[in-house]
């Protein structure tokens, strides 16, 4: 079942079905979270094609629009399947400034400028949010704040 949807993804992108492409797509699909190239190779395990092949495969899938660059983490791109993004907008990503975790926010659309901005025509929008995640938010409520009543 999963293999047939990977086949569909490759067919609709006009890409030939090769073993590394299938393996990389399957890894991203089953992980369900963005992964770096190294993480993809780690997830595949001992049967992984060599790193160069993994990198080239991802480059091909990115230029075909099948895989998206989700966000940068420690100067490394994190990749995910583009199936939860619309044509002109990737779903936003939220990075918690306290714990550093980044979460996907699929289904959230941010209004995009409809016309050119200062003469620049916008074709795609990638939104990166920062703030406190629910876990850190609830923890910060339990941290006793300095109160004027107890010096
Ligand atoms: Zn995207
Ligand atoms: Zn957090
Ligand atoms: Zn995402």
The domains of the chain are located at: 1-82, 85-141
3-state secondary structure at position 131: strand
Q: Are 132 and 97 a contacting pair, CB within 8 Å?
A: yes
What pLDDT shows up at residue 47? Answer: 81
CATH 3.90.45.10 corresponds to the domain 1-82 = no
Section 129-140 average pLDDT: 93
Same fold, 1-82 and 85-141: no
Which CATH number is 85-141 given? 3.30.1490.190
Provide the sign of the torsion angle of the four alpha carbons 83, 19, 44, 75, taken in this order: negative
Section 122-133 average pLDDT: 94
62 alpha carbon, closest ligand: 1
pLDDT score of 151 more than 80: no
Distance 110 CA to ligand 2 centre (A): 22
d(CA 97, CA 130): 6
Q: Near ion ligand 1, which residues have CB within 5 Å?
A: 68, 82, 85, 90
- Tens digits of per-residue pLDDT, 28-85? 999 999 999 999 999 998 888 888 999 999 999 999 999 999 999 999 999 999 989 9
- Please state the pTM of the whole predicted model: 0.83
Reported as a pLDDT band with limits 50, 70 and 90, residue 2 is: low
Q: Are 68 and 83 a contacting pair, CB within 8 Å?
A: no
Q: In terms of Cα–Cα distance, which of 89, 120, 123, 121 is closest to 106?
A: 89
Distance 94 CA to ligand 2 centre (A): 10
């Amino acid at each position: 079942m999963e293999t047939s949807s990977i086949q569909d993804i490759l067919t609709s992108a006009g890409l030939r079905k090769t073993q590394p492409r299938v393996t990389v797509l399957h890894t991203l699909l089953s992980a369900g979270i963005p992964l770096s190239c190294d993480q993809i190779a780690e997830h595949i395990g001992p049967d992984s094609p060599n790193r160069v092949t993994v990198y080239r495969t991802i480059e091909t899938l990115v230029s075909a629009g099948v895989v998206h660059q989700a966000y940068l983490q420690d100067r490394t791109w994190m990749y995910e399947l583009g199936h939860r993004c619309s044509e002109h907008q990737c779903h936003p990503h939220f990075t918690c400034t306290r714990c550093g975790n980044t979460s996907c926010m699929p289904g959230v659309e941010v209004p995009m400028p409809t016309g050119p901005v200062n003469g620049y025509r916008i074709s795609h929008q990638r939104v990166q949010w920062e703030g406190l995640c629910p876990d850190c938010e609830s923890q910060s409520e339990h941290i006793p704040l300095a109160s004027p009543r107890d010096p």
